[in-house]
Amino acid sequence: MKKRKTSLDKILYSKPSISKLEIDYATDAARNGWGENCYNYIYKFQNIFKKYHNKKFAIATSSCTAATHMGLRALGIKKNDEVILADTNWIAVVAPITYLGAKPVFVDINKDTWCIDANKIEEKITKKTKAIIGVHLYGNLLEINKIKSICNKYNLYFVEDAAEALGSSYNNRKTGTFGDFSVFSFHGTKTITTGEGGMFLTDNEELYNKVLIYNNHGRSSKMQEKMWSDELGYKYKISNIQAALGYAQMKRINIILKRKREIFQYYFKNLSKIDGLSMNPEYENTKNSFWMPNIVFDEKLNVSSEYIFNLFKKNNIDARHFFWPLSGFKMFKSKKNNYNSWSISKRAINLPSYSDLKKFQLDKIINLVKKAIDENN
């Protein structure tokens, strides 16, 4: 009789690394983190995070989307302004632009890094352009110097989205430290998690104070009357229990990042020599945190993302699609002239990369990738 597959046999594409430390801190927050202690772990989480990045100010939020929304508002982004970003991105990057009535302008991606192609940014700049959002996609590094040079030339803000790149670095300087402000995500799939959550990071005290007020229903911490709001803000706070989880994760960040690199390197060792198959790059003077290992099949291999996705599914592997071009969503104008964004999304896939993946599971994934190529060639 054929053995029946169970959920225990399934290889997930992602899940967090949770140890006794996270459980202990979260339990402590649940038992004792109330009343005058209700912000204790939030402050600890913010402090350890800004220290790790050597930045002055950090605000923990309910999501990376929330952090981006408040940060853009603090920059003064408003209706009819234009904000440039890569066409290949998760919807959460572009959504906050629309919340403020501004217009997203999509630029094609670099075929090797999958991040915004810095050489194609200037042609999209107009008098209405106010900012560039640069996303370190899947842990890969942006062309930071080129983008910052463009921002300086045209007097634009640089928003650094490091949601997928916690632990990546350029010239030994961590991602999330180059922008006017930066944002991070702690969704359950990310390198560290609070379940849901985000972080706003900056050295700009004026931006920090604005976002601090927005994050608290428009209430200033200096107001003696605690129930008074100076303006309309948001309820984008993180909870003390979530922050306890994040604080523990940051205490273990080097262990978590080490395992991420080990998993990627095992994939790379066994797949990188296949002609026509490319993976996350790591160039000179950069360090990739490899949040999500990806494979991109060259067009000559005839392997589509749908084909490999379905092959994985048949074998109880929960892989994930590469991001679709945002310009393909019905909410935006279709711009299929962004060739790399449209082409790569049809022949790429995210590989499972959580910390307790076993060698036999990694081998199973690798063998299926090779099988997909053999079956189509």
Domain closes at, from 202, 222, 251: 251
Locate 49 and state its tokens.
């995070």
Report whether pLDDT(9) > 90.
Answer: no
CA–CA dist 170, 179 (Å, integer): 13
Report the pLDDT value the prediction gives residue 47, as an integer from 0 to 100: 98
Question: Confidence band (pLDDT; 50, 70, 90) for 225?
Answer: low
Average pLDDT over residues 310-332: 94
Same domain, yes or no, for 308 and 204?
no
Same domain, yes or no, for 298 and 238?
no
Report the pLDDT value the prediction gives residue 8, as an integer from 0 to 100: 57
DSSP three-state, residue 144 = helix
Report the pLDDT value the prediction gives residue 10, as an integer from 0 to 100: 93
Q: In CATH, what number is assigned to the domain containing residue 345?
A: 3.90.1150.10
Q: Could you tell me which of 296, 305, 300 has the C-alpha nearest to residue 377? A: 300
Q: In CATH, what number is assigned to the domain containing residue 178?
A: 3.40.640.10
**Does a structural domain hold residue 79?**
yes
CA–CA dist 375, 377 (Å, integer): 6
Locate 323 and state its tokens.
């991001």
Same domain, yes or no, for 314 and 351?
yes
Same domain, yes or no, for 89 and 164?
yes
**Does a structural domain hold residue 281?**
yes
Report the pLDDT value the prediction gives residue 4, as an integer from 0 to 100: 54
Alpha helices, H only, the chain: 20-32, 40-53, 64-75, 91-99, 144-154, 205-214, 240-251, 253-271, 305-314, 339-344, 359-375
State the pairing for strand pair 129-135/294-297: unpaired
Domain around 116: 20-251
Same domain, yes or no, for 236 and 287?
no
**Does a structural domain hold residue 238?**
yes
Report whether pLDDT(3) > 70.
Answer: no
- The 10 Å CB-count burial string (b at 16+, else e) for 353-364 is bbbebeeeebeb
Flag the least confident range among 264-273, 327-336, 355-364: 327-336
Report whether pLDDT(1) > 50.
Answer: no
Question: Confidence band (pLDDT; 50, 70, 90) for 242?
Answer: very high
Residue 266 neighbours by CB under 8 Å, 6+ apart: 359, 362
Report whether pLDDT(355) > 60.
Answer: yes
**Does a structural domain hold residue 7?**
no
Report the pLDDT value the prediction gives residue 201, as an integer from 0 to 100: 98
Same domain, yes or no, for 144 and 173?
yes
**Does a structural domain hold residue 36?**
yes
Kindly report the average pLDDT of the chain as a whole number: 95
Same domain, yes or no, for 233 and 263?
no
Domain closes at, from 195, 216, 251: 251
Same domain, yes or no, for 231 and 184?
yes
Provide the number of structural domains found in the chain.
Answer: 2
**Does a structural domain hold residue 11?**
no
Give pLDDT tens digits for 110-137.
Answer: 999 999 999 999 999 999 999 999 999 9
Same domain, yes or no, for 288 and 322?
yes
Locate 322 and state its tokens.
């590469």
Average pLDDT over residues 78-100: 98
Average pLDDT over residues 329-337: 82
Report whether pLDDT(267) > 90.
Answer: yes
Report whether pLDDT(359) > 50.
Answer: yes
Flag the least confident range among 36-50, 56-70, 137-151, 219-233: 219-233
- The DSSP letter of residue 27 is H
State the pairing for strand pair 277-279/294-297: antiparallel
Per cent of the chain over pLDDT 70 is: 97
Report whether pLDDT(178) > 50.
Answer: yes
Same domain, yes or no, for 73 and 148?
yes
**Does a structural domain hold residue 290?**
yes
Specify which residues 135 forms β-bridges with: 161
Give pLDDT tens digits for 288-298.
Answer: 999 999 999 99
Same domain, yes or no, for 227 and 313?
no
Same domain, yes or no, for 78 and 214?
yes
DSSP secondary structure letters along 308-351: HHHHHHHTTB--EEPPPBGGGSTTS---TT-HHHHHHTTSEEEP
Domain closes at, from 188, 220, 251: 251
